[in-house]
Amino acid sequence: MTLRSLFIPITLLLVIAFLIGPFLIIVAASFSAGETLAFPPQGFSLRWIAKVFTVESFRASFGMSLFLAIGGTAVALVLGIPASYALSRYKLPGAEIVRTIVSAPIIVPGIIVGLALLRYIVVPFQVGITLALFLAHTALVLPYAVRVVSASLDNLRSDIEEAAVLLGSSRIGAFFRVVMPNIRGGIMSAFILGFVTSFNQVPVSLFLSGPGVRTLPVDMIAYMEIVFDPSVAALSSLLAFLSIGIVFIAERFLGFSRYV
């Protein structure tokens, strides 16, 4: 074997190690029996995993994150599905520009979005913290919703709607009778992607969180600033496995990767 032929496998291994390594370290650290977050872990125990469930603020912030992820994604879909439909079915002037603008938050760093929301929406309009977070998460998820739903709409021939109309359906009826059922997989995928994105979102939430109202990731950062025990690692592992589980199920039943 030459050095040349080894180059690609070695690079691949390094990349995988780089991506998965930190995750493995954190998982290992969560089973530590020691008092502080450390690697390699000292001994083996489930005490930190158990502790996660007893921390009051984690429970509250987990609830908040869940609410934002589910509610925000749902609202983003309610807005995003009609928007995607209009973008894909009508040759609107400037549809490409709208597509670009709608997906802008994917490109723009979260910090900037958070700051902008805080500075120009939350402060001047005196928006409550929960509402602000909700709006921010909706706005963040919207691009993903539009993108994924658009992809599945583009794969669906538009003549089936005309066929439905000629069989007696109204235009709107045709949308619900033949379009929605055929993009269900795309909508579910958008929901899952939106959920995971919202749930893992840090920078925007960091700006908008206030006293007593925090998302889980922000709460974890706050917790770590005070207590440096392995429970944060334990919680991270739990969340990671939750995400992997969701994506695995989604891929299995929906062919998730077709849309993302």
Q: Of 92, 163, 242, 249, which one interacts with other proteins (CB under 8 A)?
A: 163
Q: Provide the residue type at 181 as one letter.
A: P
Task: List, in order, residues 6 or more apart from 216 with CB less than 8 Å away.
Answer: 58, 61, 62, 64, 65, 199, 235, 239
Nearer to other proteins, 4 or 157 (CB): 157
Interface with other proteins by CB under 8 A: which range of 2-10, 159-167, 214-222, 249-257?
159-167
213 sits near other proteins (criterion: CB under 8 A): no
Binding residue (CB under 8 A) for other proteins from 68, 136, 141, 164: 164
Of the candidate spans 31-39, 76-84, 105-113, 160-168, the one that interacts with other proteins by CB under 8 A turns out to be: 160-168
CB of 149 to other proteins, least distance (A): 16
Closer residue to other proteins (CB): 159 or 225: 159
Cβ distance to other proteins smaller for residue 15 or 163 = 163
Residue count, binding to other proteins (CB under 8 A): 17
* CA count, 13 A, side-chain hemisphere, 46: 3
Among 165, 222, 240, 254, binds other proteins (CB under 8 A): 165
Residue 164, φ and ψ in degrees, nearest 5: -65, -40
Q: Minimum distance between the CB of residue 169 and other proteins, rounded to whole angstroms? A: 6
**In the complex, least distance from residue 189 CB atom to other proteins, rounded to whole angstroms:** 16
User: Do the beta carbons of residue 148 and residue 260 sit within 8 Å?
Assistant: yes
- The whole-angstrom separation of Cα 119 and Cα 115 is 6
Closest CA to 260 of 174, 130, 143, 110: 143
Tell which positions 166-185 bind other proteins, by CB under 8 A.
166-170, 173, 177-178, 181-182
By CB under 8 A, the residues from 105 to 124 that bind other proteins are none
* Shortest distance (Å) from residue 90 CB to other proteins: 14
Q: Which stretch binds other proteins (CB under 8 A): 20-28, 97-105, 128-136, 165-173?
A: 165-173
- Applying CB under 8 A, does 162 fall inside the site for other proteins? yes
> Is residue 160 a contact point for other proteins (CB under 8 A)?
yes
Among 124, 159, 172, 252, binds other proteins (CB under 8 A): 159
- Report if residue 188 touches other proteins, rule: CB under 8 A: no
**Residues within the interface to other proteins (CB under 8 A):** 157, 159-160, 162-170, 173, 177-178, 181-182
